């Protein structure tokens, strides 16, 4: 069974969780042998952006030592063999050109989405 995780929700509780919980879930399922792809859409295309830095938050005397490193997590998914796509129009709308995003993230146009979805047995929209 192949499943496509469509990730739309972006930066939702990522500081508290110290991860994006769906990127994390994808890693965990991949580790358990799942055959997965990821489609970043909407604001979540920003997870492919270069230069993200959430480090340095402190609350009173408590300092966050493990901030989320979302770009690294996306790169790690690609390295594990998970196909990671990002909707091209959503990138463009957010001012993200080809030189602004991680290597290994494949841009797909909205017109290609039916074909992309057809390649998976399950499509899960997060």
Binding site for another protein (CB under 8 A): 1, 3, 6, 8-9, 12, 17, 21-22, 25, 28-29, 31-34, 41-42, 110-111, 113-115, 117-118, 122-126
CB of 107 to another protein, least distance (A): 16
In the complex, minimum distance from the CB of residue 47 to another protein, in angstroms, rounded to a whole number: 15
Q: Would you say 50 or 93 has its CB closer to another protein?
A: 93
With b for 16 or more beta-carbon neighbours within 10 A and e for fewer, the 84-118 pattern comes to bbbbbebbeeeebeeeebbeebebbeeeeeeebee
Residue closer to another protein (CB basis): 55 or 110: 110
Can you read off the two tokens belonging to residue 85? Answer: 């796509």
Helix (H) / strand (E) element for 4: namely: strand 2-7
Distance CA 34, CA 15 (A): 27
Pick the closer one to another protein by CB: 29 or 76: 29
Q: Which is nearer to another protein, 57 or 117 (CB)?
A: 117
């Amino acid at each position: 069974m192949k499943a496509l995780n469509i990730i739309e929700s972006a930066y939702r509780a990522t500081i508290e969780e110290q991860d994006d919980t769906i990127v994390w879930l994808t890693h965990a399922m991949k580790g358990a042998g799942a055959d997965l792809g990821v489609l970043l859409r909407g604001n979540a295309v920003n997870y492919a952006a270069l230069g993200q830095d959430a480090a340095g938050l402190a609350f009173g005397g408590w300092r966050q030592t493990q901030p989320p490193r979302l770009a690294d997590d996306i790169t790690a998914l690609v390295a594990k063999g998970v196909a990671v796509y990002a909707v091209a129009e959503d990138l463009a709308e957010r001012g993200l050109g080809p030189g602004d995003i991680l290597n290994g993230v494949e841009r797909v146009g909205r017109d290609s989405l039916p074909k992309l979805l057809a390649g998976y047995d399950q499509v899960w929209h997060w």
